[in-house]
Amino acid sequence: MQMRIRHTTGYHYESGAEASFNEARMTPMTTSEQYVLRSRLEITPVPWSYEYRDYWGTTVTAFEVHDPHSDLTVVATSIVDTQELPPHPQDGTWEALADVQDEWCEFLELSDWVSPSTELLTELAPLRAAAARPTDYALAVMEFLHQRIAYVPGSTEVTTTAADAWTAQSGVCQDFAHLTLGALREARIPARYVSGYLHPSPEPVVGESVEGESHAWIEWWDGEWIGWDPTNAITPGSRHVVVAKGRDYADSPPLRGIFSTSGSSNLFVGVEITRLR
């Protein structure tokens, strides 16, 4: 597929802001699964900015606004070619994983975002004991969480941890990803957080613009990186567009920064996705 994504986000400052300093991660990656044909970032007010790739390979636009402003608006427009990939052989062994613990140690970290609760680990113990291969366990964990956790939009906050989501037995895509990462890493399976977009229709209509949103899924290591969308229980494919990768949400927020104001601020977000062909 070829898709156009228009992602609008920013802040309204009730008392105005004297200055703001920000990072935007809203430019899709070029990977083996997708090719970025065009990407443009428009920021209002016009800032001083520069672009770089962070440690995880994500394109970051850092920018500063030094003039007083009541609103900050960032619009990212991208056109991306995506494709389905053939199934990966998933025959790695637990012994083979022992040889990559140092190489992928950063994707084994149990941060506060992903650390699983004791209750969850207790329920997962029989699945771990029965898993002959790491991928057997990964798939069992993801099926278990898909069955147990309810997808409820707005049920959690951006700061919600995996343990919080397990207690609530509900969450959004970020929570499904964090729960899965924690369970896999606890079993010493390297796993990483992936964020981007998902066209909401299983059969997107060419030329039709639909309301979308930022999405999150995961990849785990089995001789190569294997993707899975735990929220929808599907393999990421041509409807998925990758923007950022990292250890957890903290490595890949679309917009992050600090600002100087005497009042409060309100975040606004809108995503429009159009299949072009």
Which residues belong to CATH 3.10.620.30 in the chain?
Answer: 94-250
CA distance linking residue 56 with residue 97, whole number of Å? 21
DSSP string, 40-67: EEEEES--EEEEEE-TTS-EEEEEEE-S
Tally Cβ neighbours within 10 Å of residue 156.
Answer: 17
Tally Cβ neighbours within 10 Å of residue 157.
Answer: 10
DSSP code, position 140? H
Structure tokens, 231: 């929220």
CA distance linking residue 93 with residue 60, whole number of Å? 36
Phi/psi at 48 (nearest 5 deg)?
Answer: -85, 135
> Does the pLDDT of residue 188 top 80, yes or no?
yes
* Contact status, residue 242 vs residue 33, Cβ threshold 8 Å: yes
The CA-to-CA distance between both ends of the chain, in Å, stands at 6
Which residues belong to CATH 2.60.40.2250 in the chain?
Answer: 2-84+253-275
Residue 95: in which H helix or E strand, if any? helix 94-98
> For residue 156, what pLDDT band results from cuts at 50, 70 and 90?
confident
* pLDDT at site 204: 94
Q: Tell me what percent of the residues of the chain surpass a pLDDT of 90.
A: 90
Cis peptide upstream of residue 45 (ω within 30 degrees of 0): yes
Q: Is 49 left (phi over 0), alpha (psi -120 to 50) or beta?
A: beta
Q: In this predicted model, what pLDDT tens digit does every residue of 239-264 receive, in sequence order? A: 999 999 999 999 999 999 999 998 89
> For residue 154, what pLDDT band results from cuts at 50, 70 and 90?
confident
Architecture of the domain delimited by 2-84+253-275 = Sandwich (2.60)
Mean pLDDT, rounded, for 58-85? 95
Q: In this predicted model, what pLDDT tens digit does every residue of 221-237 receive, in sequence order? A: 999 999 999 999 999 99
CATH topology of domain 94-250: C8orf32 fold (3.10.620)
pTM of the entire structure? 0.94
> Does the pLDDT of residue 33 top 90, yes or no?
no
